[in-house]
Structures are given as C-alpha cells and as structure tokens.
C-alpha cells in the first residue's frame, strides 16, 4: 500500500508540473506583465500652435502614470486619454515652456478628485518654484479647502524634490534615472531613462549633442530626442535677430547631430519631439545624412508600445 500511495503522489506531482509548464507555455511572460507605453502629449516648443502643444511626455508602466515635463496643454491631453491622475511629475529643466502647465495639472487634478499630494522631481530650484506656485494660488486653495467645497487638504499638497544625476524613483518594477544633458547655460538640465520589465525609454529633455546622454541611453529600446530644423528655423519669420537665432540654435540639437546620437545608441526606434520650429520639413532628410535606422517624427498623442517589439500608434489611427 505504501508503494502504491507513493506512486500516486509522484504521478500527481508530475501532472502538476506538466500542467504548470503548459500554462506557462500558453501564456508567455509578456502576458503577465502590464503594458509599457509612452505617449507624446505635446511635441512643440514655446511658440503657441494648436497642432503641437507644449513639451510633455506620459510614460505608463507597472500600473503607474509618470509625466515628464508639463508644457502648455498637458492636462488637456491627459484628459483626452482619460488619464485623470498621475503618480509623479519629472521636470527636465525649469524653462517656462516645460513648466507652464503645472498649475493646471496640480489644481485640476485636485478638482477632479486627487486626495494625495502631487509629487514632483526636478533640478535645483524645483522646490522653490513649487513653493511659489502654492503661494500664488493661496486664495483659491483656502476657498476650496477651508470655506466652500471643503475638498481634502492632502490633494492640494505638493511634495517636491531637487534631484541630482542618478536613480530618482523606483516603484513596482519601474526605475527612473536622471542624467545631466547640455542645454548651454541652462544648468542643471536633465534627461531621463525609464526602465521596466527588461525594456526602456530614454527622454533627452532639451540638449545639444551630449556624450553623457549617449552613455545613459546605451541598450535602450526607444530614444526620444529634441531637435531643431536649422534651415527652417533660420528662415522663420519672428522677432529674433540673426544673432539671437544663432544663440537658440546653439542650445539645441540639429537633425544631423541627432542622427549621430542615434547611430551611437542604436535604439530599436528613434523619435523626435520638442520640435523647433513646429513646421520642420527637413528633419528626415537631414537625419539620414548620419543615421539610417528606424525613425519617427513625433506628433501630439502619438503612442509607442515597448516590448519584444516596438509599435507606434498615431492619434488618427
């Protein structure tokens, strides 16, 4: 009897092992992981245009929604995607076109039901900036929190942190690393790398050609890089003198220079965002002088799924 019982137990163990193997083979690892999606909320620059909102990128991974920069219209784009709350805001630098949407994000998120503080990471000066934004809206906060609606105080609090190069965020398998880039005299300025589930995306922030960016971007699936169309910008009719235009050009990366970055990094996909000027017809042709790999010129609400393959979806698809 003991031998029969032992045999039956061994048979059950084998069947259990086989069933587990079949289940694992039927549903690959990717099926158990949440999506890793990057959405370009705004691909523009300081110039107001309806087709390219201010710079802002949404990264969704591990059940979290992380926002990188908060330019003009970022909150409107989030609501187009039915994203009413985010888990954190990461700033590349403190130029106004990257931060002007923060009051809307912060206060509208509270209006729409946020009960916990807005968390913000950014370069030196971020804490001070957020403190003054809170002061600017003190009347509205007092009315809504203490007098009229009596909304939860926690939802209008801000937890801001000045960061340095290195890992700045880790939660539920998502890791965010900040690295220094070269935005001319605008220092410090950061790019970010987001890693999740063995995949990654790198966001350049505002920068000219940067070897440090190339170092931190090695092995990434997707590299989203700022760009300036030098010929189109030189021909642009605005109030800047030729000398002022040359100074702007020196703060950014031309398409030919970006192509060299892409070639050294060799991502599965290279993408342009923060496009200067908004109409930039020479980007692809100039990039092809130095880079022959996969390339997309970003559009507002373009989304990128990152996994074993990289898939691009446009808003009109």
Cα(35)–Cα(137) distance, integer angstroms: 36
Other beta carbons within 10 Å of 271: 28
C-alpha distances out from residue 187 to 132, 164, 166, 224, 227, Å: 20, 11, 16, 21, 19
Query: Is-cis flag, bond preceding 277, omega within 30?
Result: yes
Name 52's Cβ contacts closer than 8 Å, sequence gap at least 6. Answer: 42, 43, 44, 45, 275, 278, 300
Tell me, yes or no, if 146 is annotated catalytic.
no
C-alpha neighbours within 13 Å on the C-beta side of residue 279: 7
C-alpha distances out from residue 290 to 36, 220, 269, 287, Å: 29, 19, 15, 6
Query: DSSP readout, 164-211?
Result: -SEEEEEETTEEEEEEE--BTTB-S-EEEEEEETTEEEEE--S-SS-H
The catalytically annotated residue of 69, 87, 97, 286 is 97
Cα(247)–Cα(35) distance, integer angstroms: 41
Residues 271/222/191/197 CA torsion (nearest 10 deg): 150
The answer to whether 225 and 273 have CB atoms below 8 angstroms apart is: yes
Active site residues: 97
């Amino acid at each position: 009897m003991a031998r029969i019982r032992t045999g039956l137990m061994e048979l059950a163990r084998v069947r259990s092992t086989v069933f587990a193997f079949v289940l694992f083979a039927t549903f690959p690892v990717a099926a158990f992981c949440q999506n890793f999606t990057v959405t370009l909320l705004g691909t523009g620059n300081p110039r107001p245009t309806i087709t390219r909102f201010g710079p802002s990128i949404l990264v969704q991974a591990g059940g979290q929604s992380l926002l990188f920069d908060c330019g003009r219209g970022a909150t409107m784009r989030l609501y187009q995607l039915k994203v009413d709350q985010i888990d954190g805001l990461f700033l590349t630098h403190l130029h106004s076109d990257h931060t002007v949407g923060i009051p809307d994000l912060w206060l509208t998120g509270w209006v729409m039901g946020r009960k916990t503080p807005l968390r913000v990471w950014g370069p030196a000066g971020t804490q001070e900036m957020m403190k003054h934004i809170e002061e600017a809206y003190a009347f509205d906060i007092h009315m809504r929190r203490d007098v009229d609606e009596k909304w939860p105080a926690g939802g209008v609090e801000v937890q801001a942190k000045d960061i340095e190069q290195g890992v700045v965020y880790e939660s539920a398998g998502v890791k965010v690393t900040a690295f220094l880039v070269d935005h001319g005299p605008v220092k410090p300025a950061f790019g970010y790398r987001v890693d999740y589930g063995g995949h990654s995306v790198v966001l350049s922030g505002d920068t000219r050609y940067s070897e440090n960016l190339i170092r931190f971007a090695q092995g990434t699936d997707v590299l989203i890089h700022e760009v300036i169309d030098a010929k189109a910008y030189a021909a642009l009719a605005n109030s800047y003198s030729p000398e002022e235009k040359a100074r702007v050009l020196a703060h950014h990366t031309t398409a030919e220079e970006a192509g060299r970055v892409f070639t050294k990094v060799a991502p599965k996909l290279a993408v342009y965002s923060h496009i200067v000027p908004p109409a930039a017809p020479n980007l692809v042709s100039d990039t092809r002088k130095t880079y022959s790999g996969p390339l997309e010129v970003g559009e507002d609400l373009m989304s990128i799924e990152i996994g074993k393959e990289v898939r691009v979806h446009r808003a009109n698809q």
